[in-house]
Amino acid sequence: VDNKINSEKLFSLYSAPQDTYGSAIPFYSTPLFSIGYNNPFGFGVYCLSYDFYNLFEINDVRRQDGFIYTYTDAFGATITYEPGNENAPNFYGGDNGLCSTKYTDATYAAGVISHTNNIWYMRFVESYLILAEAYMEINNLPKARENLNIVRSRVNASTIDSGTQEQLRQIIREERWRELHFEMTELYDIRRWGEVQSNFEEHPLVSKWYPQLSWDEKFLLYPIPSNETSRNTNIKQNSGW
């Protein structure tokens, strides 16, 4: 947490309506009433599962320092996450889950949900993950492992020194999850990997809580904004939108 603003950070943007503020992510991704009741620091809506937590090795710094597992709430109670106790999403109520420390911001202002932390879009470490994936896909496994291990060594994770192309593909993909969660890469990743439909159908929002939702091929692409299609009539809207 103390090292989060560093030379790895290449590009970030604010998204909050208040001037000088970054985003609302810290408010939604930290535990319910984790600082104050009248002006709460977090609502715990964007939480992570225990399965995700277990993707990290025990000695991985990102596991040790990257999650709020136990905290004291505004009422003085000690709240400890209980594995398997994630609730179904409920507006302002999804507070049973592991919260990430990635966007924590203790300098919140009273009466607003916006924080000074921007949304991260690109850190230098992702360059190594991109290289690792590219080398893996052309079956240059030594170079793929070399770049992957640059990422892992800096967080005290074990060295990857063997494995088939398919095994390494899965390791690299999981490494992106571990390293880049909440950094707006996931949708682009699963589109690139051809896994949009399987992720949709297996996502708890669909498989567990909202089974009436159905897959549509149009989800493979975003719609082209109407102001673009009206400006240039030669642009053809993506199928289904």
Summarised one tens digit per residue, pLDDT across range 78-122 is 888 877 666 555 444 445 678 888 888 777 666 677 888 888 889
The helix or strand, by DSSP H or E, that contains position 120, with its residue range, turns out to be: strand 119-123
Three state DSSP letters for 30-71: CCCCCCCCCCCCCCCCCCECHHHHCCCCCCCHHHHHCEECEE
d(CA 17, CA 19): 6
Least confident range from 33-47, 57-71, 104-118, 121-135: namely: 33-47
Segments in 154-185 forming alpha helices (H): 165-180
pLDDT of 157 higher than 50: yes
Summarised one tens digit per residue, pLDDT across range 187-210 is 999 999 999 999 999 887 888 778
* Of 76 and 235, more confident: 235
* Of 8 and 234, more confident: 234
pLDDT at 59: 96
DSSP 238: P
